Amino acid sequence: MAPLQPQVSSESMEPNTRPTLVLIPGWLMPAEVFTHQVAEFARDHRVVVLDPRSQGQSALHVSTQAERLARDRARDIHELVEHLQLDDLVLIGWSLGVLECLDCIRLHGVTGLRGLALIDNSVGEGPAPAARASRRPRTSAEFDTYIAGFVQAMIRHPEDEPIAQRVRQSALRLRRTPARAFEILSKPWPRETYREAVYGVRQPVWYAITPRYREQGQRLAEYHAGVRVTLYEDATHAIFIDQPARFNADLRAFLESVS
């Protein structure tokens, strides 16, 4: 087996406490996006946060073949769980991490999975959300501007500027190759693949969303008995940074339900 490429940038351990929380960040994001969650849950859980390849402290790694890259990133999560010998865990994915957690589950399975938390991305249920009208940057300068706006829209509280700074640093690692950065978002499978993956999960699922995914949340709550849905009406895409106290309380309630 090849060495694990990504890095575990944030790991804290409380002995004899279960389940372990494994957090997977979104596109270009570093482990530090989950600063508020590590601070809260490391008191009574083991918490592991992955820097996916090309993100945070992990090595730069891009591929011109979309399916290979998608499979690599899903396998990285599987190898992380195997490498740390985790046999009792809750998997938590945000944004692109939602799809990558579901890819890991459907392609490899996750031994010891107790619960799954999916934060603010489509899961392939119902009609696709309306596409956001935006032109992808082609130059480094355009990419810099794009990332600045992207981060500002997610992280709006002055006290979270240290997190925003780490996010910008992580995202700008690929500023010289904007097209490669966006290739990370490409998934070669139909969106219905993710709906089937969610419905195939037998463990409890928490779907934490902003209004963009309201309809998907409603359908999941109606048709999947094991899903609980929480709608954050006025939060940014980074719900757990924007509203950490509420998010952490909701996550703790979910964890209690899987214990």
Is 90 exceeded by the pLDDT of residue 9?
no
- Compute the distance between CA of residue 77 and CA of residue 99 in angstroms, rounded to an integer: 12
Q: Helix (H, G, I), strand (E, B), or coil: what is residue 117?
A: strand
Chain segment 80-135, per-residue pLDDT in tens: 999 999 999 999 999 999 999 999 999 999 999 999 999 999 999 998 888 776 78
Q: What is the pLDDT of residue 4?
A: 44
What's the sign of the alpha-carbon dihedral 69, 70, 76, 79?
Answer: negative
- For the chain, list the domains and their CATH numbers: 7-127+189-258 (3.40.50.1820)
| pLDDT tens figures, 186-238 | 999 999 999 999 999 999 999 999 999 999 999 999 999 999 999 999 999 99
DSSP state of 89: E
The per-residue pLDDT of the chain, averaged, comes to 92
